[in-house]
Amino acid sequence: MIDLHSHTNESDGTCSPAQLIEEAVRAGVTTLGITDHDTFKGFDAAVPLAREAGIDLICGIELSTKLHGHSAHLLGYFFSSGGMDEFRTWILEQQAARRDRNIRLVKRLRELGFDITLEEAEARGRGMTGRPHFAAIMVEKGYVSDFRQAFDDYLDESAKGYVYRHEPPFAEGVRRIREAGGIASLAHPVRVKGDVPAMMRELADDGMNAIEAYHSDHSEADTELYLCLARQYGLLATGGSDFHGAVKPGVRLGTGAGNLRIPANLVEQLRAFAV
C-alpha cells in the first residue's frame, strides 16, 4: 500500500518518526511519504528506521502558502536529494516567520483573556509550534469545549484571535520546489478556498505539476473531479491519508477514513517524471 501524506510530531502529528514507521509496518504501507509542515526533521530522523523496516520512504514537505488571499497547502516531493541545500535554507526562514507569528498570537490570546504563554505552547510544538498546539492548550484549560471550537471561535483565518502570518505566495512555493527538483502538488484541493477548476489554468501556469487527487477528505466524486482536472492540464496525481495520529483518530495510515484507494502504480508515474 502507498501513502504519500503523513505527519510526525516534528510538525502537528502525534507519532514520533519511529512510531510512524511502526504504524506503517502495522498498516501494511510499503511506500510512505512524510510531509511535515515546513520541516524535514521528521523525514530525516525516519530515514534509517525506514531502511531497517524495509519501507520505501519518500521525502516530502507540506508548505503553507497564500493563494488569492487564503492559506493553501502545497506538497513537495523530492525523489532525488541533490539540489536541496537552498530549499532547506528557505524552509528555515519559513519557520522563523511562524515563530514571529506565535509571539503575536500569544499577545492576542492574552488580550482576549486567556492565560497562555509562548513557553507552554513551545513545550508541545517545539520547533514547529503552530495553531493546533494553541488549540490543544485552550481545550485542556477548558477555554473551549473542543479543537473545533478553538479554531471556529479564535484561531481560524476568519476568527477573532487570528493574527497575520507571512506565507509565501503559492507561485513562490511551487517555484522553490521545482528549483529543488521536486514535484509540486496542490494538497487536499477540496479544502482550497475558491473555485479550484476555475483556478487550474493559473496554477498550472505557476508551474504546479501535480494535484492530490486521493485524500481522506475526498469523496469518490471529488477524486474523480481532481483526476479529471489532472488529465485536462497534463498534471500528475498524488495521494495520501494526511495521517496525524491521535489528533485525527478517524484517519488511518494507508486507508484514510476508510475511503482511500491509491493505485499501486502512482509512485512509478511520479518517479518516471522526476528523473
Residues contributing to the site for ligand AMP (CB under 6 A): 12, 37, 64, 98, 130-132, 151, 156, 165
Biggest distance spanned by C-alpha atoms of the chain:
54
Among Fe ion, Zn ion, ligand AMP, none, what binds residue 130 when CB lies within 5 to 8 Å by partner kind?
ligand AMP
Q: Which residues pair with 98 in a beta bridge?
A: none
8: amino acid identity, one letter:
T
Question: How far is the CA of 179 from the CAs of 84, 89, 262, 266, in angstroms?
Answer: 9, 13, 27, 23
Measured from the CB atom, the residue of 53 and 190 that comes closer to Fe ion is 190
Assess contact for 135 and 155: CB atoms under 8 A.
yes
Q: Is 222 in the site for Fe ion (CB under 5 A)?
A: no
Q: Cα-flanking dihedrals φ and ψ of residue 33, to 5°?
A: -100, 125
**Backbone dihedral region of 269: left (phi > 0), alpha (psi from -120 to 50 degrees) or beta?**
alpha
Q: Which is nearer to ligand AMP, 17 or 132 (CB)?
A: 132
If binding is defined by CB under 5 A, does position 212 make contact with Fe ion? no
CB 66, min distance to ligand AMP, A? 12
- Contacting residues for 53 by C-beta, under 8 A, at least 6 apart: 21, 22, 24, 25
- Using the contact rule CB under 5 A, the part of the chain among 91-99, 146-154, 239-247, 267-275 near Zn ion is 239-247
DSSP of 250-273, one letter per residue?
A: T-BTTTBTTT----TTHHHHHHHH
Contact map string, positions 100 to 139, toward Zn ion, x by CB under 5 A: ----------------------------------------
Q: Which amino acid is at 91?
A: I
User: Based on CB atoms, which residue is closest to ligand AMP, 128 or 230?
Assistant: 128
Size of the site for Fe ion (CB under 5 A): 3
Judged by beta carbon, residue 33 or residue 181, the one nearer Zn ion is 33
| β-pairing verdict for 183-186 and 210-215 | parallel
23/242 with CB nearer Zn ion: 242
Q: What does the alpha-carbon distance between residue 188 and residue 210 come to, in Å, rounded to a whole number?
A: 12
Stretch that binds Fe ion, among 70-78, 99-107, 146-154, 245-253 (CB under 5 A): 70-78
In the complex, what is the shortest distance from the CB of residue 87 to Zn ion, in angstroms, rounded to a whole number? 18
Is 242 near Zn ion (CB under 5 A)?
yes
Q: Tell me if 12 contacts Fe ion by CB under 5 A.
A: yes
**CA angle, 209 as apex, 238 and 64 as ends, to 5°?**
75
Of residues 51-80, those binding Zn ion (CB under 5 A): 62
Closer Cβ to ligand AMP, 149 or 269, answer by number: 149
Beta bridge partners of 6: 243
- Number of neighbouring beta carbons within 10 Å of residue 61: 27
Q: CB under 5 to 8 A by kind: which of ligand AMP, Zn ion, Fe ion, none does 64 bind?
A: ligand AMP
Q: Which positions touch Zn ion (CB under 5 A)?
A: 62, 242
Q: Which positions touch Fe ion (CB under 5 A)?
A: 12, 73, 187
